[in-house]
A and B are shown apart, each in its own frame.
Chain A
Amino acid sequence: MSESDGETYKILVVDDEPDVEPLMLQRMRRHIRSGRYSFVFAQNGVEALEVLNSDPDVDMVVSDINMPRMDGLTLLSQIAELNPDLRAVIVSAYGDMKNIRTAMNRGAFDFVTKPLDFDDLQVTIERTLENMKAWKEALSSRDKLVSLQRELDVASQMQQSILPAQFPQGDNFEVYGNMEPARNVGGDFFDVVLLDDGKIGLAIADVSGKGVPAALFMMSSRTLLKGSAIGLTEPGKVLREVNNLLAEDNESAMFVTVLYAVYNPATGHLSYANGGHNLPVIFHGDGSCTVLPYTEGLALAVLSGVEFVEGELTLAPGDTLVLYTDGVNEAMDAENEEFGMGRLQAVFAGGAPQSAEAANEAVFAAVREFVSGAPQSDDITCLTLRRRGA
């Protein structure tokens, strides 16, 4: 969804701080003047519900958590009952992982932290609106018979809207990710989550199936993963929790493979757990590479109660960790030959990548050159973490 689709979106901002209203109107003035956003304000959850009951045109909610009369978390539960199509973004204190996690579990689409960065808020609002629009189209496509292509377009919009728009970096690390969607099939996504103590959560995933049902499954996988990631520090426990939630009532037998890792930029320490996903590769400064050791696990949503064994290692300065989906190693040329792990491991044989983005691009370039125009049959996704230095 570009910002020029001509629609005006009405956003309800809920906060008990009196400064928020003038500040929001001032900082968002360009988007208000262009007719992109209009704002309504409420000071607590009770007032917010009154607005939502009297004004059916509200498209999304941005809400603080701690407020008198009714807090943001209670408001979220009420919104879910009132109108499940309404998307909410939560504003919370930095590092308040407990509340953020509760909010994600109650259906918040995303969160931003205080003090408010208005550029970040605006990016988050756009992603939320894009997702909401795709969601509404998905619902209406259920009601009327739409062509398969239309359904796949809607699904692909939903998929794009959950990918991170920017990547964290610091003096000693950088992250970069990219996905090239296939025309018809697809279910890849990745996420980068900022955790307590400056740690970074990295997830790469591939949902089985295609179309709107797979896109909806992807949405809940991503939300549950993000919610669990910021509440639990150990990757094995994160996957365990998400798996148990997804495996409930999973009659459609969809599943998702996920590799989830937690990286500590201060020490280079990486811990990870694997839900049936391809094993990432670490490219070392000297041109050699290592495949991350296998750890016991199972694709998520297949069976509840599964334990996920954790692995750990330390990245050396100059090491680059490449997480990818099977769209990379199973990319096929015109003769039906697969790209394969061997070619992936050979990408940097001539020298280590100099940045996360360069590493990512090099993998895509190698796949592109190999298939040389043969039709792409699956999403190709790559998420790269590089420890700077050396």
Chain B
Amino acid sequence: MDLKSTREGSNLIVDVEGRVDGTNAMDFQTALEGAIQPSDQGVVMDMGQLQYISSAGLRVILLVAKSLQKQNAKLLGCSLSESVREIFAISGFDKIVPVHDSRADALKALED
């Protein structure tokens, strides 16, 4: 698992690569929480290079979505591979984290 973040205005863009499962979910959480600033209005998680995410990884996303909600910020996902999109659809997590086809679409959704 590798995580890189860039900032675009008041939004944070996070690129997640590789696999997130029970063995590295804690690292994922630490890296993600470390990247988010209290001033962030929106966070876009680009999962284009994410191969797999287990329930332990989804839990981290849920934790982050809940804490962002407290600072009135949104969490969106984008560019999911077919297998990751399926995980989001079956678990229903696409109701918690709206997913968009591209990074541009996600950023546009944050503006609306």
Contact = CB atoms under 8 A, between A and B. Distances in A.
Given A276-B90, A278-B90, A378-B54, A208 B59 contact: yes
Interface string B66-82: 10000000000000000
Interface in A162-220: 184-185, 187, 206-210
A338 to B, nearest CB: 8
A184 B63 contact: no
A224 interface: no
B93 A209 contact: no
Nearest to B51: A336
Contacts of B52: 330
A299 B22 contact: no
Interface string B87-99: 0011111011000
Interface of A: 184-185, 187, 206-210, 253-255, 257, 275-279, 294, 296-299, 302-303, 306, 326, 330, 377-378
A276 B22 contact: no
Nearest to A279: B90
Contact of A298 (B54, B55, B59, B91): B91
A277 B58 CA distance: 13
Q: What is the interface residue range for chain B against chain A?
A: 10 to 19
Contacts of A184: 22
B40 interface: no
A129 B22 CA distance: 30
Contacts of B89: 294
Contacts of B91: 257, 276, 298-299
Contacts of B63: 253
Interface of B: 21-23, 52, 54-56, 58-59, 62-63, 66, 89-93, 95-96
Given A276-B93, A297-B92, A299-B91, A254 B22 contact: no
A303 B56 contact: no
A206 B54 CA distance: 11
B106 to A, nearest CB: 21
A377 B24 CA distance: 13
Contacts of B95: 298, 303, 306
A111 B112 CA distance: 54
Given A255-B58, A377-B22, 18 more contacts: A206-B55, A208-B58, A253-B62, A253-B66, A255-B59, A255-B62, A257-B55, A257-B91, A279-B90, A294-B89, A298-B91, A298-B92, A299-B91, A299-B93, A302-B92, A302-B96, A303-B96, A378-B54
Contacts of B55: 187, 206-209, 255, 257, 326
B39 to A, nearest CB: 23
A380 to B, nearest CB: 14
Nearest to B55: A208
A122 B92 CA distance: 41
A185 B59 contact: no
A185 B62 contact: no
B90 A185 contact: no
A242 B81 CA distance: 32
A330 B52 CA distance: 10
B59 A253 contact: yes
A297 to B, nearest CB: 6
Nearest to A187: B55
Contacts of B59: 208-209, 253-255
